[in-house]
Amino acid sequence: MYVLVALALAALALGVEAFLRAEDFAPKEEILSPSVLDIFVSEEDSLYPPPDTNRFEGRPETVFVYLSVEDLPSVEDMEARAERAGSGSLFSLIFGRGDEIELLDEQEDHLRKSENGATGVVKFALKTESGEPMPPGDYTVDIYGPGGEGAVAARKSFEIEG
């Protein structure tokens, strides 16, 4: 009996926490480096940034993150990390493992290099390791660099609805 009560309380706490997290989330972007002009997310794979999307109504297979830069000291040391705050049923929050998310450098950067640094577009791809569509949730992508400084250069938050 005590085990069932403990499980019920844990499930209730998880449900309340997930509800409060969803209520607090608002898609946004932060530009923290003078070399970064803008950051976009889209499910379109394009040479140049398509219109920015803050909320995906379906579950895209891949979300592309575009970074518009000017006089970027070094592209090689840039790194991107993604974090997801899941949403879904209480059952899936308790028992579901979920897909692992990976963020890949697309190596299709369109940059023009000069003595002041690189100018153009850097692109990353966000997808699941299994190849399934992206799970619903609130996502935050942090771009670190430039030049290996280790500080966040840009941050973009967006939502994928289930």
Which stretch of 39-43, 61-65, 116-120, 146-150 has the lowest confidence by average pLDDT?
146-150
Q: Pick the more confident residue, 13 or 123.
A: 123
Query: Would you state the structure tokens that stand for residue 98, as one six-digit string?
Result: 């979920």
pLDDT by residue (tens digit) across 62-93? 999 999 999 988 777 788 889 888 655 444 44
pLDDT of residue 62: 94
Q: Tokens 């450098």 correspond to what residue?
A: 105
Q: How far apart are CA 147 and CA 98, in angstroms?
A: 34
Report the pLDDT averaged over residues 139-155: 80
pLDDT by residue (tens digit) across 9-43? 888 776 666 665 555 678 889 999 999 999 999 99
Helices (H), the chain: 2-24, 90-95
pLDDT of residue 114: 85
Q: How far apart are CA 29 and CA 15, in angstroms?
A: 27
pLDDT by residue (tens digit) across 99-114? 577 878 765 568 888 8
Q: Is the pTM of this model over 0.85?
A: no
Which pLDDT band holds residue 46 (cuts at 50, 70, 90)?
A: confident
Please return the burial class of 82, using the count of CB atoms within 10 Å of its CB with bins 0-12, 13-18 and 19+: middle
> Residue 115 pLDDT > 50, yes or no?
yes
